[in-house]
A and B are shown apart, each in its own frame.
Chain A
């Protein structure tokens, strides 16, 4: 019986053959933290150590509440900067860079075959680049800083195979929402999810990041696309250091294999208050809302801004709607600015925010008043997540968000594309 990508990467890290279910000790290639680094520093100090074990493996990217919204957050950032300087941590990205998962990826840390742990649940995003990447908590990250090691259980793998082409106006976000809606929010709990099949190669890297990002919303430990020529060409050009891709064997032991035909998909939307409460957009079309959010680590990349700009070009956001635009990183921001996308979105009435996470987790910039409704491209719609009690979050593709912002009601984007 062959091996899965997880078994191969973790065997390399463990220095011995492993199978799903084994527990190993591994030294990750990199470990990410963000604004929660101040809390991690607090836990690390309890260990009584003067120095972290491997400062060159620590990646810290400030993104959750940037620039600082108040004095407390400013103190958090200050604590982190002083620690970074004292510990000589070379890979520090201050508030101007953007959302951690986007910045870590585009900075060339996420390369095929690597093991990356992050103290953020959407660390799964790097699976788009063939990385075994999983989220952990703060105390656990403090322990990694101290020891350069973590214990991991080798996960079973759920394989999801795609065939066919996306119909006009249907995107990667619609595919992952459909899967989560069909399979449930805990379908892949503790498991690896491998996105594969003949159509997987047709996904752009940005689209692969959407699926790997939201694998976390199925409970997955990681999400993964097999590295192909697209990945390798990107990695050779932008990667930091060596990498060794892995691919699951054709006869690998999967927990299950699911088939999805992209050609029969239509725009999807996750309704409050669970990510698996998914319906076709046409079933909720016409519902009024208050705020539209375009961006985040799920859908804040150039291709996302581009499709929204295509819909909003020469038009205006409905007067009852506030449209927030949150490019995922400074690199995305600059590229979108040079291409005129930010100009188009601003002219349509959008508020262009600095790259960051703020509104997505209800921490900063653009929170909802009690009872308000948001339609956004983020990855979670839990009750109260983006603000006041009784507020509601709908999740959809950038196209659906743009079309909805235009109409002032949830709208099917296909008529605008």
Chain B
């Protein structure tokens, strides 16, 4: 191993570099990715068990509750797999594009890692013991063990430590490179962590009040206010996963297929819009709730639709890149370029499938937020189908695609043609399973099949019997999905420890206009102030209303 002094970070300690990768930084990212895929593995098995039980194929053993399994699946997939993947990926990209992490940033990354792992272990232990079957939304007055909430606080503190690391490294690079716009990847990293950090504040407030309440120190809780705090976070955090996928589409995908970024400036506008417009909109998860006026609901329904605008910009920019590359590769005619894309390359195929699934996923989102339409599908399997398309396809399949260059890059290995084929297979099996699962969930939900419900015939109800075929397809989808998931977990393991040694670069594409990016885009203070104003506009009135006009609160209740 060679020891190289990095010239641009002269104030840092000597950084060990092998083939462009800083080994100490790589170790941090690989640790996060290992936890991420361990969570995916366990969460996937939980998903399979649910699919088998709900479809009636194989009921769960008596000692295992459906809701316990559902809680574990939700937390492991929606929170642990995604969060740890995101930190691993963003820290790796920052290390690469900002000439290495500062030692104190690396330390913050490790502190975050320790806090998150400790928190997740605590949370999952309470779930395994049956003391926290409250699902990942943990709506009060369902009360879990206090350790469940303390674990969640640790996870949030871990996230804040990682956020501080991103902000510090970004500022440091800017100070060293005055008058230069930051690399686009780092700009995305900043946007993602600003949004994630601010979204986590309300849920932290909620959980900090749930702790004394679940211990019996605080006799009652304000149910509506807690619910609002949860969805301010919950709605935004899924958009953070989407935001991360978008960063890979803009920065990595064009490089992988041999193209250029459509426009550096427009990509940054998308980042700003995703940060500013995302937090308002939480109430579209509460569209059929009491105690909220129609005016507030209407405002939120359409504020959340504003996020469609940057998504539409992204669709245009990405397909413009694809068309240019396809034509360069000899594609003729109106759609001939489409065939000339590198479909056999998992690093392109997976994010492309992620993008394509966001077309029905986004359309479904517009339906869910469309006020009156939500009433038809609210709390039905339709919603579950929707977020399996968005989180488990758009985000997760993009993350899968990222693995095939990120992990070899970090471990100093290469992606062999055989491994690429295994990646394509995992992606296609996953996609096929998800089409069955999500498709049947959408259809079942449209006819009223409720979500979050164990197998039941509702006393032999005819209507409930009409949902059986959909649930069967859902179960089959879950089985196929698990096969794809196991293959993916194996592939990750292989890329980490078995693949042949070599140099894999971190793909960073460039744009023709990147030299002329205006410096005002770097004014994060301004974007944060605008974001806070928009949040104030969305939440100030209902938040005060929930407190001033609150009914007597609810005591902790355990109903499982």
* A is bound by B: no
| B residues with CB within 8 A of A | none
Interface residues of A (CB under 8 A from B): none
